[in-house]
Every structure is written in C-alpha cells, then in structure tokens.
Amino acid sequence: MPDKKGTKQIADNRNARHEYFILESFEAGIELFGTEVKSIRKGAVNLRDSWGDISEDNQLYAKGIHISPYEQGNIYNREPMRDRKLLMHKKEITRLKSEVMKQGLTLIPLSLYFKDSMVKVQLGLCKGKRLHDKRASAAQKDAMREIQRHVKISSQ
C-alpha cells in the first residue's frame, strides 16, 4: 500500500494566534505511540493550553497536548497529557533555547498535521500580547472585514 502524499490538517491552536505575536514558525516531528496516532486520525486532539519546553540536555518537549485515549486501545493507551518529545535538529534546538532564554519568548504548538503519513507539529516562537495589543489586532480585523464587505458590495 503506497504512502499517502500531501498534508492534512488535524488540529489548530487558534487561541495562540489571539494570545501571542508569532515571530517565527518551525516544523517538528513528534514522538507518538500507535494508539495515539489512531486517536489523532480520529481528530481527538486538543492544543489549547500546550507549550514547548527545552530540557537541560537540549531535548525539546511538547507539554499540555491532550490526545484522547483510543477506544479500542485497552492496555496500550498512554496518558493523555504526557510530555511528548519533539524531533528537530540539534542546531535548531540550541538556537531556539538561546532565543527563549535571551528574549523571554515562548514556544507554542500552533498546529498538528499529517505530512506524507507522518504527524508533524508547527511550533511557533512567540511573544505574549498585552491587552491593548489584543484590542488593536481585533480592531484591525474588524476594519479589514468592513473593507472586504464594501469591496464585495461595490463589485456587484
């Protein structure tokens, strides 16, 4: 059976785009077990309160990702909220660690997707928004929506 090609979106962390400025994004593999992959294929995953962490021995972990237990998994199911290792090159991890330590940034999983039958995580290097930043971005979105509405009406 040939591998499936292309990408398929599994989960998206919309809250992260509201709470943080996304400065840069990276693609990382994620270390999963079989029943977790089956559960992900069903879409039983939540990225809402998740974050990335770099350990002392330069290992990258995703914390707070909730993958629901697979119904037919019985004894092979894993803890839904366990820390999952993310797979990136060592140079990228050390660069991310220096950025996080130096500038006080945060690593946030932005989305989870299949890429050629492999599960990948889009990890964002983010800076937290303050309340006035959130209001400004909401006002900007409203203005763009109004402009699009007027353009659509005038073109008809």
54-101 pLDDT, tens digit each:
989 999 999 999 988 887 767 777 778 889 999 999 999 999 999 888
Of all residues in the chain, what percent are helix, strand and coil, respectively (each to 5)?
35, 35, 30
Q: Mean pLDDT throughout 118-124? A: 92
Residue 18 near residue 135 (C-beta atoms within 8 A): no
Task: Give yes or no for residue 1 having a pLDDT over 50.
Answer: no
pLDDT at position 121 is 94
Q: Could you say which architecture CATH assigns to the domain 7-130?
A: Beta Barrel (2.40)
Q: Give the span between the Cα atoms of 40 and 46, in whole angstroms.
A: 10
Task: Give yes or no for residue 112 having a pLDDT over 90.
Answer: yes
pTM score above 0.95: no
pLDDT at position 123 is 93
Q: Give the span between the Cα atoms of 91 and 110, in whole angstroms.
A: 21
**pLDDT tens by residue, 3-42:** 667 788 998 998 888 888 899 999 999 998 888 888 888 8
pLDDT at position 93 is 93
pLDDT at position 4 is 65
Q: Give the span between the Cα atoms of 144 and 149, in whole angstroms.
A: 9
What does each C-alpha distance from 89 to 52, 68, 136, 149 come to in angstroms?
A: 15, 28, 36, 45
